[in-house]
Amino acid sequence: MEESISCYKHWGAGQKVKNLEDTYPDLLNILEKQPRQMPTQSPVMSDIYKSPEALDLTAIMRASQAISSEIDFEILNIQLVQVAISLENARLYTKLKLDITRRKKAEEALIKNEEILRLTLDSTSDGTWNWNVVTGEVVFSDKWLGSLGYKRGEVKPHVSFWESIIHPDDMANTMNTLNLHLEAKTDTYECETRLLKKSGVYRWNLDRGRVIERDDDGKPLRMVGTDTDITERKKAEIQIKSSLREKETLIQEVYHRTKNNMNVICSLLRMQSEGIKDGKVLTMFKDIDSKIRSMSLVHSKLYQAKDLSSINLKDYIADLVSNLFMTYLLTPHKISLKLIADDVPLSLDYAIPCGLAINEIITNSLKYAFPDNRKGEIKITLRRIADIACLPARQGLQNADYEQSFELPKSEIRNLKSEVIELKIADNGIGMPEGFDIKNTDTLGSKLVFGLIEKQLDGKIDLNCENGVEFIIKFNVGCYRKRV
């Protein structure tokens, strides 16, 4: 009761309680005597209950008695803990339900993807395998077994069966390739090998796979992969290689016969020249002979080349100049040759006109640059200078080193990108006559050089007459007329 009154005072009713105590000194004793059973009709109680303060205090007292008598605070505490546990369980249940829902969706998606993968594999001829690297057990698919003529149950589901049907000649390479992947030295395993079918016939097989599981030390645990029958592809490759060898042999024979025929012509010219007494006519025969030999040398180089499509221009120039020195110089030691050249591969389309132009320029130097048996030097420089666009006529090239406009329609330009070759042929002889213009001359040799470089090779030729003479030739490898 005192706690009830204290609570009542705490909530701002102190004055009301004091008034009740002053008016009814025995109030506390009366209220302590089981107020619930006291008749409210008695004069004292009637007066008390007429007072609002008394009614408030009575309500507080009764509430205090109810709490203290009917509720065990320990039980209440237990109930509160149970409520908290229930709330936490509800939260965990909601989260667990959400997780289960997500996992169920993930499992459904995985099942769907596996079904798509299965249908995809079924639509191809590829077989699959799943290898437990630790135990050696392998799960071969029905297609893998069927492609080799086997049915399930006829082979041991172990890696030893696969090893037993590998062609002996392929065993070392296959095992080496596989071990490199097992040791994590390659991202995937891929190997072409021959497998023995049930019928006793070997088939070509493309084996591809990947380790999908490793332990903490990086050792492989599981590996999966596919097998593809590539027997028909291999047969086609063998047939193509055989056909290619036949064509190479045929082309070599053509080059060889062309070279021989040209050599026969040169031999006939030399035989005919033996009875010629006129020096000018004899020189003409020599010039014709050197031109034919320059073309014959191209076919000889192509015959000796490995790819049969191009020659090394550096080697060709060295042999060509050597032949010219032997033809025109009675005292070769008087004139020296200096060759500075890059290795430049050149196809037949370029090699013959380029060789004829070089032949004509070198011949001219040997015949006229060093009169009276004087000493001198011929210097040849060959290099690549740029990769530029090959443009049609009169648009020019956006390159300071190469400004020649091509007189070709766009339809005849073979490549959009090509390589510029620069060839310089210089001698320190007596030089050209004053006012000489290679583009406007009546001499056959000059016309031939100009036509070969600027018309056939679509290149550019310049002449520097300081300290002897220097021919500067530039042509764009890749831009030439289509063959008719």
For the chain, domain boundaries: 2-70, 127-229, 234-308, 319-484
* Pairing between β-strand 469-477 and β-strand 460-464 as defined by DSSP bridges: antiparallel
Q: Tally Cβ neighbours within 10 Å of residue 304.
A: 13
CB atoms within 10 A of CB 218: 9
Q: Which residues contact 331 (CB under 8 A, 6 or more apart)?
A: 373
In the 8-state DSSP scheme, what is residue 310?
E
Rounded to whole angstroms, the Cα distance separating 266 from 262 reads 6
Task: Give the span between the Cα atoms of 66 and 222, in whole angstroms.
Answer: 73
| In contact, 344 and 380? CB cutoff 8 Å | no
Contact 416, 378 (CB under 8 A): no
Q: What is the pLDDT along the chain (484 residues), one digit of tens a residue?
A: 454 445 444 444 455 555 555 655 555 555 555 444 444 444 444 444 444 545 555 554 554 444 444 445 556 566 566 666 766 677 777 777 777 888 888 888 777 766 665 665 565 668 888 999 999 999 898 888 988 999 988 999 999 999 999 999 999 999 999 999 999 999 999 999 999 999 999 999 999 999 999 999 999 999 999 898 998 998 888 888 877 777 777 677 777 777 777 778 878 877 888 778 888 888 888 788 888 888 888 777 777 767 667 888 888 888 888 888 887 776 667 888 899 998 888 887 888 888 888 888 988 888 888 888 888 999 999 998 865 444 333 334 344 333 343 344 444 444 444 678 899 999 998 888 777 777 777 777 788 888 888 888 888 888 888 888 999 999 888 644 433 3
- Looking up tokens 């003479």 gives 469
Interaxial angle between packed helices 52-70 and 14-23, expressed in degrees from 0 to 180 and rounded to the nearest 10? 100
Query: How far is residue 326's CA from residue 363's CA, in Å, rounded to a whole number?
Result: 11
Q: 127-229: what CATH class?
A: alpha beta
Q: Contacts for 167-172 with beta carbons within 8 Å, 24 or more apart?
A: 167/193, 167/194, 167/195, 167/196, 167/202, 169/194, 170/194
pLDDT of residue 339: 92
Amino acid at site 20: L
**Domain spanning 319-484: CATH superfamily:** Histidine kinase-like ATPase, C-terminal domain (3.30.565.10)
Residue 378 neighbours by CB distance under 10 Å: 24
189-196 sheet: strands from edge to edge: 138-140, 127-132, 220-229, 202-214, 189-196
DSSP 55-81: HHHHHHHHHHHHHHHH--HHHHHHHHH
pLDDT value at position 120? 59
- Is there a contact between 471 and 463 (Cβ–Cβ < 8 Å)? yes
Bridge partners (DSSP) of residue 138 are 131
Cα angle vertex 256, ends 253, 259, to 5°? 150
pLDDT at 433: 79
What is d(CA 12, CA 121) in angstroms, rounded to the nearest whole number? 86
List for the chain the helix, strand, coil content (%; round to 5): 55, 20, 25
Structure-derived torsion over alpha carbons of residues 69, 73, 76, 80, reported in degrees to the nearest 10: 160
pLDDT, position 15: 55
